[in-house]
A and B are shown apart, each in its own frame.
Chain A
Amino acid sequence: MSVFGTPPISQRYLDTAKPAPVQLLLHRRGLAKLLLLAVAAAVIVPLLQAKYGAAWPSSLTVDVSGPLGRTSDWIIDNRDSHPLFVYFLGHLSNAVVISVRGVYLLLLALGWTGVTAGVTLIAWRVAGVRIAATALISFVVSGLLGMWVPTMQTLALMVVAVAASVLVGALLGLAAGLSDRLFRLLRPVLDTMQVLPAFAYLLPVVLVFGIGVPAALLATVIYAAPPMARLTALGLRGADPGVLEAVASLGATGRQRLLTARLPLARKELLLGVNQTIMMALSMVVIASMIGAAGLGDRVYQALASVDVGAALAAAVPIVLLAIVMDRTTAAAGERLGADTPATGPKWQRGWPVWAGVAAVTAVLALVGRLSGSLVWPGAWSLDIARPVNDFKEWMVDHLYSGVPVVGGTADWAAHFTDWVLNPLRDGLTALPWYGTLLIVAALAWLIGTWRTALTAVLAMAAIGVLGVWKPSMNTLSQVLAALAVTLVIGFGVGILAAGSKRFEAILRPVLDVMQTMPQFVYLIPVVALFAVGRAPAAAAAVVYALPAVIRITTQGLRQVEPAAVESARSLGATRWQILRQVQLPLARPALLLAVNQGVVLVLAVVIIGGLVGGGALGYDVVTGLATGDLALGLVAGVAIVCLGLMLDRVTQPTERRTTGKGA
């Protein structure tokens, strides 16, 4: 590549000090790569233009709806007769139904007294008094909001889904942790699965199982098991080699080594895996209401369909509370078990007697509830928030949507964002010749990553064209890019502020904690309340969903900049702005790139879900496909989503693989 020459970095260039990523993009190898691409483009583009024209050529499109429709029909016809279904998938589906039903009945049998007491006591034992109080309040609030039964339905699904995900994930992770070959094979698959939007998983399971609890549960397991598998494998592999050598030197067998050293040493990662799996499972169980999961998600889904913000909120509050309780409890359990210091506290608080006590108290309270004849939350103790919330929303519609002096109104903002940002961007992307898009994708991916990531990105993009969904994909892409730009501007800004001020970060932290815990679905409700439906609210929800991660990563990246470098800059008399621009941002480049990557992945996930609130494009195709039973339409859109996700991830993927998980 040296044939292209390497112009020295000019002093002028250094002085202009562009933001870090751009600065480093343009260093010498980047320039060589760009030149190479430009040469290739100069040769290929005229040929392509002459042969195919600017729009995606129909001769390069494969119509898959026919075969997909036939496959779908075949499955529907044979679901009751083909041995594959009768002897394998049928049993699987029955097992799912029976276990979910069993857990649900158990929860109902315990009654609201038993469940509330049990959950509170478990949270107390595992995570302490504060989280126990949170748990108690959460369940009481669910009851008060009239959401007891849907909460129990969601809880039942969660119990089964998490158990299955943890089991499957741990087994896969164990295998990948012990076998190098399997690890090399599984790792890219798991990494990729973690960047795909939840919506992409819905259609394939519906194709096989039809709409219903089995499909919902399996989609959840497929979505939630990867973090467990990934963290188990990484934990087993990350064990201190010194300890493993010491264990080997004492003559331990492979089994002894696994049971007494490798697994215990990985316990922190295992518990983090359980935590992430729970959060992802909750997120998916809620979304899976679209394919037959009953419970809180279904209530939100129904309410959103009729733009009933009040009802949606009443169902969303228990979801958020459930998420917080589950996250904090498992996180605290992880910290406690992961600590290298023994548990403290009086002896009676440790070991099986406590757990027996927990069980006993739960049983007694369940019995009390049963004897007093109130198994389900008593209807008299309920609080109807739907109406006041809807009234408030009406008030907002009347007073805030438009015509507010000076600032305009929320609906005006949304309209402006649509007219001035989303529409031009969409039209521009659609008008851009397809080979131009591919070239841009290739250039970006290659500059930031390697030729491998560039190739994957280009192939994924081309696949979208081949599937014949180029236009809706460009529409989705425009929403992603617009939302990403807003996310990055706000996220980097807030991140820099938080890195600069300890106090600001302290205020921000609990907010981010809660935001990162909430399932994607929930974010749609406030934006619908504020901006009605359309593409702008979908983008807004995406921004809000992706912000916490971007802020976090930015702050951490800036904080972790070598203090000696900052100190030496300060000793040379640099101003705060100079330090930020010339030392901190360039040194935090990997973190900033990671923030972009995570931001893209998270934004895409919610932009797709935005199909439910008028986001249109690919997400809407999935929703329509599910709603009308046109599985071919939905499946093609699903594949396009996967391709778009792959492309966006690879384009923004720094050469080094990210190490943090995606979170909830």
Chain B
Amino acid sequence: MATTAAGASEIPNARKAVDTAEDSREVVFSVRHLWKVFGPKADKIPDDSSVTELSAQELREQTGCTAAVRDVSFDVHKGEVFVVMGLSGSGKSTLVRCLTRLIEPTSGDLEMDGEDVRAMDRGALRDLRRRRAAMVFQHFGLLPHRTVVDNVAYGLEIQGVGKSERREKATEMVDKVGLAGLEKRRPGQLSGGQQQRVGLARALAVDPEVLLFDEPFSALDPLIRRDMQEEVVRLHREEGRTMVFITHDLAEALRVGDRIALMRDGQIVQLGTPEEIVGSPADDYVRDFVRDVPREQVLTVRRAMRPAEDGEAEQGPALGPDTLISDAIEAVARSGGAARVVDDGRCLGIVDHACLLKVVARIDQPQHGEVAA
């Protein structure tokens, strides 16, 4: 598991209280029953019920095909950071490429802002890639013969934007990602982190509706990776742009994601907020995956509290329901007694030493199937 104590200590404090309002928000990407099968007669696989239930290995043995994406459905809402997480070979990179048809999906429905992406002709698709969805790649994909500013301006150049205008915009983006002064360098003269900033600036320069990240920071050193993650979090806070973020790093997923889809063998095994993934793993695979996550830094007191007993609802420090366990531990330790969980002046419950310790010690596993959407 990639998470370490040091890595997780930076998980942002502000766990967004968006879960309840989710369904009312605008949908950017709507994916339904999406398949991507590689191999001979790939298009027959998704409709053939005799093979769709097979495991990846059985499928390969029986048909010679590999299903990289299997019957995947999800919505990406406007303004959220939607993380797709999985180990290598789980199909996550294929999935994100299907969104702009860099890889042609085999079957299923794919809509962006209500438009059928799979039905688009070349011109419409090109327009989608040029203006609506820009991608940041693991290995940067920069043009080695161009300067930083020309790389950043490349997307605009493709669109036919005039030279001075695109230069101006590109310079602005270079500043925005913190590379001011390096405009005239070539990618080969930059460090990995700087190159990825160029990749990010190039994606931002076309002012896309959605940013797609394909394991953008996997090739970077751990410290640089942290910087870049914070950069993404900062950009998201400032601009509120919708992001689809692919990663194999759980700590990264927890750090940047509003919602996480956990993939395995081409299928989504669980989709939910970081708290849901960590607090209520859908199966043993997910449980195994999140085992080393410092739970007190992901879970909130909502999950730890118990009902208030007589008189308890009136005393002790008050905490919001979205307070992290780690913060609650501090509050409880300082006051020496139990703390109240208060929402809108109403006491929801009580957290004391015992309930907080139970969460940290992992003996709070909920018995009810409180699994995500």
Contacts and interface: CB of A to CB of B under 8 A. Distances in A.
Interface of A: 240, 242-243, 245-253, 256, 260-261, 264-265, 267, 340-342
A248 B102 contact: yes
Contact of B134 (A243, A249, A252, A342): A249
A422 to B, nearest CB: 53
Given A242-B140, A249-B102, A267-B145, A341 B129 contact: no
Interface stretch (B61-69, B111-119, B154-162): B154-162
21 contacts: A242-B137, A242-B141, A243-B143, A246-B135, A249-B100, A250-B129, A250-B155, A250-B202, A251-B127, A251-B129, A251-B130, A251-B131, A251-B155, A251-B158, A252-B158, A253-B158, A260-B154, A261-B143, A341-B189, A342-B184, A342-B186
Contacts of A248: 102, 129
Given A251-B125, A256-B158, 12 more contacts: A242-B141, A245-B141, A246-B137, A247-B143, A248-B102, A248-B129, A251-B126, A251-B129, A251-B159, A253-B126, A253-B158, A340-B145
Contacts of B188: 340-341
Contacts of B143: 243, 247, 260-261, 264-265
B145 A265 contact: yes
Contacts of B336: none
Contacts of B147: 342
Interface of B: 100, 102, 125-131, 134-135, 137-145, 147, 154-155, 157-159, 184, 186-189, 199, 202, 206
A250 B145 contact: no
Contacts of A256: 158
A256 B142 CA distance: 15
A250 B134 contact: yes
Majority DSSP secondary structure for residues of A touching B? helix
A265 B144 contact: yes
A-B pairs, top 7 by smallest CB distance, nearest first, are A246-B141, A251-B130, A340-B188, A251-B129, A249-B135, A251-B126, A250-B155
Contacts of B187: 340
B137 A250 contact: no
Given A248-B129, A253-B126, A256-B158, A340 B134 contact: no
Contacts of A264: 143, 145
Nearest to B206: A250
Contact of B158 (A242, A250, A342): A250
A267 B145 CA distance: 10
Contacts of B206: 250
A256 B159 CA distance: 10
Nearest to A244: B141
A340 B128 CA distance: 31
Contacts of B128: 251
A405 B188 CA distance: 62
Contacts of A261: 143
A340 B135 contact: no
A256 B131 CA distance: 16
A264 B154 CA distance: 14
Contacts of A246: 135, 137, 140-142, 199
Nearest to B144: A340
Contacts of A243: 141-144
Nearest to B129: A251
A554 B100 CA distance: 49
A59 B214 CA distance: 69
Given A246-B135, A249-B129, A250-B206, A340 B186 contact: yes
Contacts of A260: 143, 154, 157-158
A267 B199 CA distance: 22
A264 B126 CA distance: 22
Contacts of B186: 340-342
B84 to A, nearest CB: 17
B125 to A, nearest CB: 8
B67 to A, nearest CB: 21
Contacts of B137: 242, 245-246, 249
Contacts of B139: 242
A354 B88 CA distance: 53
Contacts of B159: 251
Nearest to B100: A249
Contacts of B202: 250
A652 to B, nearest CB: 37
Contacts of B158: 247, 250-253, 256, 260
A243 B145 CA distance: 12
Most chain B CB within a 10 A radius of its CB, from A249, A256, A265: A249
Contact of A245 (B102, B154, B155, B184): B102
A408 B318 CA distance: 109
Contacts of B145: 264-265, 267, 340
B109 to A, nearest CB: 22
Nearest to A254: B122
B92 to A, nearest CB: 16
**In the complex, which of the residues B138, B139, B141, B202 has the most CB atoms of chain A within 10 Å of its own CB atom?**
B141
A443 to B, nearest CB: 37
B222 to A, nearest CB: 22
A253 B100 CA distance: 15
A246 B188 CA distance: 17
Nearest to B189: A341
B144 A247 contact: no
A260 B131 CA distance: 19
B335 to A, nearest CB: 53
A250 B102 contact: no
Contacts of B184: 342
B189 A250 contact: no
Contacts of A252: 158
A249 B159 CA distance: 12
Please indicate which of the listed interface residues A240, A250, A342 has the most CB atoms of chain B within 10 Å of its own CB.
A250
Contacts of A342: 147, 184, 186
Contacts of B129: 248-251
A74 B199 CA distance: 66
B140 to A, nearest CB: 7
B8 to A, nearest CB: 30
Contacts of A340: 144-145, 186-189
A242 B143 CA distance: 10
A264 B142 CA distance: 12
A248 B133 CA distance: 12
Nearest to A256: B158
A130 to B, nearest CB: 25
A240 B145 CA distance: 13
A240 B142 CA distance: 10
A341 B142 CA distance: 14
Nearest to A243: B141
Contacts of A250: 129-130, 134, 154-155, 158, 202, 206
A260 B142 CA distance: 12
B71 to A, nearest CB: 25
Contacts of B140: 242, 246
Contacts of A247: 141, 143, 154, 158
A260 B202 CA distance: 15
Nearest to B159: A251
A311 B155 CA distance: 62
Contacts of A265: 143-145
Contacts of B144: 243, 265, 340
A662 to B, nearest CB: 28
Nearest to B138: A242
Contacts of B189: 340-341
B145 to A, nearest CB: 5
Nearest to A253: B126
With most chain A CB atoms within 10 A of its CB, the pick from B144, B186, B187 is B144
A63 to B, nearest CB: 52
A256 B206 CA distance: 17
B162 to A, nearest CB: 16
B202 to A, nearest CB: 8
A247 B129 CA distance: 10
A249 B93 CA distance: 14
A247 to B, nearest CB: 7
Contacts of B134: 249-250
